[in-house]
Amino acid sequence: MLTSPPAVLLLLALLADASATAQPPLPSCEVSPHRIELLAAPTDQAPEVCISPDLATTFRFDSPPPPSAVELQERERFEDVSTGTRSITVIPPKDLRPGERLELVVRFTDGAAPTSATFELVGHPALAARQVEVFRNRRTVEDYQQEVKEKEARIRQLQSELGRAQAEGTGLGIMGLIASGLLNVDALNVQGVLAKNLKSTITDPPANALRTQTVISYRSTTTRREKGEDVMRVAVAMDMENLGMAPWTARDAALLVGKGQDVKQVKVWQLAPIPPGGSGLVVVETELLAQEARGTFTLKLWDENGGRLVTLGGVTFP
């Protein structure tokens, strides 16, 4: 018996959703600089390194690997693979699937241990490790001091974010914005929260897992300054329709500036999973320097396994 076209389309949608659900969840990607210290004795588990389409990932070594001793699984698929005196740079294929794993093996010829290093490259929609520092020999005191400085800076940033989050709980609405420093009270610069309708200017590819119905961006000037610039709090609110046959929940999101630029991870808020055929509100939020906020961004959102992706191009802020 022949199957009617609507039934075929429904079956394909069900299979696509089932395939996406069956994929393993994405790893927690470590942002650059990502440091890996090799052990003299081999281990069973290779360190994971997140890679993303169109974004270059560079491995920097403290001892030079021979160019001919680099083995990359499915190398022919990659956009580019180049070796320097102490580095290897890979640009992943455009068809790299979220959660897909490819093995990179580097062999050393100087006789010292370890004689090789294996890395597991894991596909991610946006959060690639842009630089990976690989230590084969003993690290210097300066190396550890630099790492401590970077961790201390990260701790200060997290403490600042925690303080703002706690301040946000002291009041609701505009009171909460002012109390948390997310809305600047300045008689010479009375702007408040500015909004911009993006529905007619963004690009919303047909391949997206959800269709946008409303897209509005927001910006406010905070009370903080960094690097001599005002810090802007920006957000994008999207009312989206679920085209699939399974509920959709955003796990994470990122803003990208131009091709090959570093990504800016953002916070995601969603009241509830968006049911099949239904719609729901998803909001992303982050902070940008004043100059950064003037750019044009690509916004990516993905679910738990990254298989049901939403990509919006041409995102700007008021």
The CATH number of the structural domain formed by 184-315 is 2.60.40
100 token code pair: 């897909």
pLDDT over 80 at 18, yes or no: no
- Do 184-315 and 26-139 have the same topology in CATH? yes
More confident residue, 291 or 34: 291
Q: Nearest CA to 210 among 313, 312, 315? A: 312
Per-residue pLDDT tens for 32-42?
A: 668 888 877 66
pLDDT over 50 at 155, yes or no: yes
Instruction: Report the pLDDT value the prediction gives residue 306, as an integer from 0 to 100.
Output: 83
Per-residue pLDDT tens for 53-106?
A: 888 999 998 888 777 788 999 999 999 999 888 899 999 999 999 889 999 999
Q: Which CATH class is domain 26-139?
A: mainly beta
pLDDT classification of 3: cutoffs 50, 70, 90? very low
Q: How many CB atoms lie within 10 A of CB 252?
A: 22
Per-residue pLDDT tens for 193-237?
A: 889 999 999 999 999 999 999 999 998 888 888 888 888 889 999
Instruction: Report the pLDDT value the prediction gives residue 21, as an integer from 0 to 100.
Output: 47
In SS3 terms, the chain reads as: CCCCHHHHHHHHHHHHHHHHHHCCCCCCCCCCCEEEECCCCCCCCCCEEEECCCCCEEEEECCCCCHHHEEECCHHHCCEEEECCCEEEEECCCCCCCCCEEEEEEECCCCCCCCEEEEEEEECCCCCCCEEEEECCCCCHHHHHHHHHHHHHHHHHHHHHHHHHHHHCCCCHHHHHHHCCCCCCCCCCCCCCEEEECCCCCECCCCCCEEEEEEEEEEEEEEEEECCEEEEEEEEEEEEEECCCCCECCCEEEEEECCCCCEEEEEEEECCCECCCCEEEEEEEEEEEHHHHCCCEEEEEECCCCCCEEEEEEECCC
Please state the domain extents for the chain. Answer: 26-139, 184-315
pLDDT over 80 at 120, yes or no: yes
**pTM score, whole prediction:** 0.71
pLDDT classification of 9: cutoffs 50, 70, 90? very low
